[in-house]
Amino acid sequence: QVQVVESGGGVVQPGRSLRLSCAASGFRFSVYAMHWVRQAPGKGLEWVAVISNDGTNKYYADSVKGRFTISRDNSKNTVFLQMNSLRPEDTALYYCAKDSGAVAGTGWFDPWGQGTLVTVSS
C-alpha cells in the first residue's frame, strides 16, 4: 500500500545538526512532490518544506529558511531533511507527507508517516 516511513530523529544539542529520512513505497515516487511538516508537543501543525518531483524546486517556511535543506533521491524513493543550527524551538514530531501533485501547487498531503521525534536540548 501507499506509505511513507520517517527515521533519523533523536536528542541533539542546540547548534548541532541532524538528518531525517523518509522512505516511500507503494507509488511512483518520482512523480510526486514531497513535504515535511512538524508538530511541536501539544501544538498545531506547521509546514516546513517541500521539494518538487524532480528535485529542482524547493521551498521553506521562514522559520527554517537558511538552516534546513530538503533533498530527494528518486533512485532510492527517499526524501531527506538536513537540519543545521538546531534550536530548542525546533523540538517537534517531524512528519513526511506525499503531495497529490508533482509540484507544490494546490495538492493535498496524503499519506503521512507516523513521524520521527526531534528533541533539541542541552
Partner 1 sequence: QSVLTQPPSVSGAPGQRVTISCTGSRSNMGAGFDVHWYQQLPGTPPKLLIYGNNNRPSGVPDRFSASKAATSASLAINGLQPDDEADYYCLSHDYSLSGGVFGTGTKVTVL
Which among 10-18, 20-28, 78-86, 113-121 is the span making contact with partner 1, rule CB under 8 A?
A: 113-121
Exactly one of 5, 61, 102, 117 binds partner 1 (CB under 8 A); that residue is 61
Which among 8-16, 74-82, 84-92, 112-120 is the span making contact with partner 1, rule CB under 8 A?
A: 112-120
CA dist 78 and 61 (Å) reads: 21
User: Considering the complex, what minimum distance in angstroms separates the CB of residue 79 from partner 1?
Assistant: 15
DSSP labels for 80-92?
EEEE-S--GGG-E
**The CA-based dihedral angle spanning residues 90, 92, 95, 101, taken in that order and rounded to the nearest 10 degrees:** -40
User: Considering the complex, what minimum distance in angstroms separates the CB of residue 58 from partner 1?
Assistant: 9
Pick the closest to residue 70 from 44, 104, 34, 39 (CA basis): 34
User: Considering the complex, what minimum distance in angstroms separates the CB of residue 90 from partner 1?
Assistant: 15
Cβ-based nearer residue to partner 1, 16 or 89: 89
* Secondary structure class of 68 (helix, strand, coil): strand
